[in-house]
Amino acid sequence: MTLLHDALAKIRPLDPALLDQAQAKLDNKTKPLGSLGRLEEFARRFAAITGTLEPQTDRKVIYTFAADHGVVAEGISAFPKEVTPQMVFNFLRGGAGINVLARHEGADVRVVDMGVDYDFGLLAGLIDRKIARGTANFAKGPAMTRQQALAALEAGITLANDCKEEGIAMAGTGEMGIGNTTAASAIIAAISGLPVKQVTSRGTGINDAALANKIRVIEQALQVNRPDPSDPLDVLTKVGGLEIAGIAGLIIGCAANRIPVVVDGFISTSGALIAAAMNPLIRDYLFAAHESVEIGHRAMLDLLAAEPILDLRLRLGEGTGAALAMGLIEAGVKIMKEMATFEQAGVAEQQG
């Protein structure tokens, strides 16, 4: 538990002086005060997180964590679980949505096997952190052991530590795991206490009958496992997923290493919820990439006090929203770094 404990203990509040200095720098640029809206917020927070008014943004990485879910046995997904390893191969060949969008934004994609129910052997490009071949069916008992949940969290933290070593400027989270909207809905229901049907929707696209079944399965999971909302590790263990644990770990590690971290949609945000429940300061290190179509996402964002950057009705996951949001965050940082000041440009300042 040392790695997790150390990372959580290392996280510091943002320095308000840095936030002020960044805003002062922005206010000197040739534009009306505050006129670049949220781009200025991105720049300010990026500066305070990284501790510099001249942060680098070149090296960007999306971590796409993959794992399987025992709860698919309950018929909660529109896709068969074989799709999880099939999509891992697709990621590694560069043909998936996340590959296209990360390329477009100049980010690398790193695929992490946290718990896919498939033996990849030694596969070039795949980061092997497999904890188990998928979780157990949490409709019947805990998804994993507490030890497995811890190991998965620490795998994520280690990736963030490696980012620091490598000089990665910004990390993004993504995931692939057939059945994982069921886990994410179970997590937000457990943590918020909201009724399951208020935080559960169609995932990759199930019909009405399947949605009713999915809600019933999550209600059963909460009854069977009784996850303790005051113990985020217990929630993760009982109704989480291995990729969600990896995401939570990456986020904790990024906050500990002062690396801005862009959280993708519904499933990634469930990981952020677990992380922020372990140390609320983590919320200052996060950027919420987009408003997901999943109805439980809004409750998650409220708990994180996070305002999503994009609203493009995305519901693919993989890190696709994070890749696009990264481009906008980087744009904000470049405004702070590259725009001319009033003095440099010989432009008259605002009156009255």
Query: Annotated catalytic sites, by residue?
Result: 318
> At closest approach, how far in Å is the CB of 102 from a second copy?
10
The amino acid at residue 203 is: G
Residue with smaller CB distance to a second copy, 111 or 236:
111
Q: In what order do the strands lie in the sheet with 107-115?
A: 126-128, 107-115, 60-67, 170-176, 261-263, 286-288
Residue with smaller CB distance to a second copy, 76 or 155:
76
Residue with smaller CB distance to a second copy, 96 or 304:
96
Residue with smaller CB distance to a second copy, 204 or 279:
204
3-state helix, strand and coil shares in percent for the chain, rounded to the nearest 5: 55, 10, 35
Q: Could you give the CA distance from residue 138 to residue 145 in angstroms, rounded to a whole number?
A: 11
> At closest approach, how far in Å is the CB of 132 from a second copy?
23
> At closest approach, how far in Å is the CB of 30 from a second copy?
6
Please state whether 167 falls in left (phi above 0), alpha (psi between -120 and 50) or beta: left
Torsion angles phi and psi, residue 318, rounded to 5? 70, -15
Q: Could you give the CA distance from residue 184 to residue 201 in angstroms, rounded to a whole number?
A: 11
Torsion angles phi and psi, residue 310, rounded to 5? -120, 155
Residue with smaller CB distance to a second copy, 96 or 171:
96
> At closest approach, how far in Å is the CB of 166 from a second copy?
23
| Contact residues for a second copy, defined by CB under 8 A | 29-39, 78-80, 82-83, 86-87, 89-90, 93, 95-97, 99-101, 103-105, 204-207, 210, 293, 309-316, 320, 324, 327-328, 330-331, 334-335, 338-340, 344-348, 350-352
Give 261's strand partners. Answer: 171, 286
> At closest approach, how far in Å is the CB of 127 from a second copy?
20
> At closest approach, how far in Å is the CB of 110 from a second copy?
19
> At closest approach, how far in Å is the CB of 260 from a second copy?
17
Residue with smaller CB distance to a second copy, 99 or 137:
99
Residue with smaller CB distance to a second copy, 221 or 309:
309
* Contact in structure between 263 and 316 (CB atoms under 8 Å): no
Residue 230 vs residues 6, 207, 226, 308: alpha-carbon distances, Å: 20, 34, 12, 25
Q: Which tokens hold the place of 334?
A: 């470049």
Q: Could you give the CA distance from residue 170 to residue 321 in angstroms, rounded to a whole number?
A: 14
Cβ atoms within 10 Å of 327's Cβ, excluding its own: 16
The residues near 352 (Cβ < 8 Å, ≥ 6 apart) are none
Place of tokens 């945000």: 269
